[in-house]
Amino acid sequence: MLHLNQTRLSYALLKTSFGLFIKALIILVWSEGFAQRTVNLQGTISQADVDGEGNVFIGLQNGSIIKFSENLERIHTWSKRKGSKSNQMESNFGLKLFLFYPGEQEYYLIDQNLSASRRYDLPQGLSSIVSLATLGSDGNIWVFDPVELRLMKFSLNFHQREIESQLSPILERKQHRFIQIKEHENRLFLVDQLSGILMFDNLGNFIGKINEKNLASVTFDHQQILYVKNNVLYRINFYSGERFSQVLSVNQSINKVLVTDAHLLLISNHSITLEPKLTSGKSPR
């Protein structure tokens, strides 16, 4: 009888263990199946940004803007009727999307539903063509003049120049390729593909540089700058200088990474891949 009871107990434990194993396997397979989601697009992606709600905005080379939910469900589409292409798209200005068009020296503010837009000319008083522009946290506009190497901020309410910084004294090279400007955490960042990321305070004073060349673009997550090189995601704390890295688990070449509270959005030339937010490891460098 004792042997029979032990046999029944062993069978019950085995059955329970097997059941737990099957459940764990199902959960693992489910997690692996839903850990990543990729949306392929017909056009070539030129711009990408994410707002505070996790909505994703994708700019295509043909001028179209597509809005996706955080789960990559397509919501709205907007297209500029004619003209040049934008080189700056930002979605962190309340309920507006900012687009800058250097060819026409104008910018658009579009509502988050991509249903209404308004065009604005750049402020008067500029002696040369502006290549980059972005809105500041106070609603005024920063512009970069690549000919005279000037960084300027204009008041949109009073139509006057508030800040002007001459960059020639701080630039170490004669050749530059400035591709991005962005205000974040009361700092202004100017990305030069040939030398690195220049950092300024909110008054336009130069405060430091991150020496990282050949960047396609940068993005931000709280006090960190994020960029991708050779499918490795790098994070740099722009206060402490601490660096982290994470190898991206995708096959296609990634140009940019966007961050939400729960996910990473990996942007290639023709696709967006959604995956859980990765845990950063120490940089190998």
Q: Which residues of the chain have pLDDT under 50?
A: 1-34, 279-285
Residue 16 placed within a domain: yes
Kindly state whether residue 268 falls inside one of the protein's structural domains. no
Q: Is residue 19 part of a domain?
A: yes
Residue 14 lies in a domain: yes
What type of residue is 85? K
Q: What residue spans of 56-214 are helical by DSSP H?
A: none
Q: What CA–CA distance (Å, rounded) separates 22 from 14?
A: 12
Residue 111 structure tokens: 């509502």
Nearest to 236 by CA among 195, 196, 269: 196
**Does 104 reside within a domain?**
no
What pLDDT is stored for residue 80 in this prediction?
Answer: 79
Number of domains forming the structure of the chain: 1
Residue whose pair of structure tokens reads 């700019």 in the numeric block: 59
Residue 2 belongs to domain spanning: 1-35
75's tokens: 């919501």
Strand residue runs (E) in 80-231: 88-93, 96-101, 106-111, 117-121, 132-135, 141-145, 150-155, 160-166, 178-184, 187-192, 196-201, 206-210, 219-221, 224-229
Whether the CB-CB separation of 197 and 209 falls below 8 Å is answered with yes
- In which residue are the tokens 């209404």 written? 116
Give the 3-state secondary structure of residue 162.
strand
| pLDDT computed for residue 13 by the predictor | 40
pLDDT at res. 262 = 87
The DSSP result for 21-60, as a single string, is HHHHHHHHHHHHHHH-EEEE-SS-EEEEEE-TTS-EEEEE
Within-domain flag for 6: yes
CA distances from 250 to 47, 129, 231, 246, 267 (A): 20, 39, 8, 12, 11
**pLDDT at residue number 92:** 73
Q: Would you say residue 27 lies in a domain? A: yes
Q: Which helix (H) or strand (E) holds 56?
A: strand 56-60
Edge-to-edge strand ranges of the sheet holding 263-267: 37-40, 271-276, 263-267, 256-259
pLDDT attached to residue 171: 87
Q: Is there a domain that residue 26 lies in?
A: yes
Structure tokens at 97: 């999307």
The alpha carbons of the chain give a radius of gyration, in whole angstroms, of 24
Q: Which residues pair with 233 in a beta bridge?
A: 228, 246
Query: What pLDDT is attached to residue 264?
Result: 92
Q: What's the pLDDT at 209? A: 94
